[in-house]
Amino acid sequence: MNAPNAPAVDVTTWFLEQTSPGDLSPSAAPGPESGTDILRAEIASPEFSRFLYTAVGGDHHWTDRLPWSHRQWEEWLGRAGSETWVLYVRGTPAGFVELDAQDGATVEIAYFGLLPSFTGRGLGGHLLSFGLARAWDLAERHTGRRVTTRVWVHTCSLDGPAALGNYERRGMRIYDARTRPETVGPTPGPWPGAR
């Protein structure tokens, strides 16, 4: 996120959680005419995961994983309890939610979002609802994993304008917020240097 010689701006980060599956307030699912499907990427693919990460986060200053090597991506994706669920619209990747099973019985929504051309269609609430439900039942898919007792996420003022509200409408509660100055350069976009 930090860029040398860029002006400092105040960035607020909100930390949200659910502590029971009953906290989930799902959005309505799109009808069958929408052509939507959500599938788990069961084969760890650094190329595909990096595509999703840059395509969704390129305009929101997601830069922490840009320097990762192919091996770093493989190691991250290959961890027990790491899951990527992909939203497709008529066969086209439209967004994703990445789950990270952590110590104890906690699951983090590590990344979540839609590709720019799929925002504003009511798909974000559906994808987040699905991702939260998969965080709560993650232990069913991973032998030896404890049943989830907490799901958390963080979002910040650099993310999409609907992000915080979407999390709150799905039943997540803010448990911490921090504002600090950060140097933020231009967004890299999905294709750095193309603009």
Q: What percent of the chain has pLDDT over 90?
A: 77
- Residue 3 pLDDT: 53
pLDDT of 174 over the 70 cut: yes
Give the pairing of strands 150-156 and 106-114.
parallel
pLDDT at position 195: 46
Burial of 194 (0-12, 13-18, 19+ CB in 10 A): exposed
> What are the sequence ranges of the domains in the chain?
8-183
Superfamily of domain covering 8-183: Gcn5-related N-acetyltransferase (GNAT) (3.40.630.30)
Other Cβ atoms less than 10 A from the Cβ of 15: the count is 15
Report d(CA 63, CA 71) in Å as an integer: 18
State the average pLDDT over residues 180-186. 85
C-alpha span between 132 and 24 (Å, rounded): 7
Please give the model's pTM, rounded to 2 decimal places: 0.92
Alpha-carbon span 47 to 9, nearest angstrom: 32
Give the 3-state secondary structure of residue 73. helix
User: CA-to-CA distance for 163 and 153, rounded, in angstroms?
Assistant: 11
pLDDT tens-digit readout, 74-122: 999 999 999 999 999 999 999 999 999 998 899 999 999 999 999 999 9
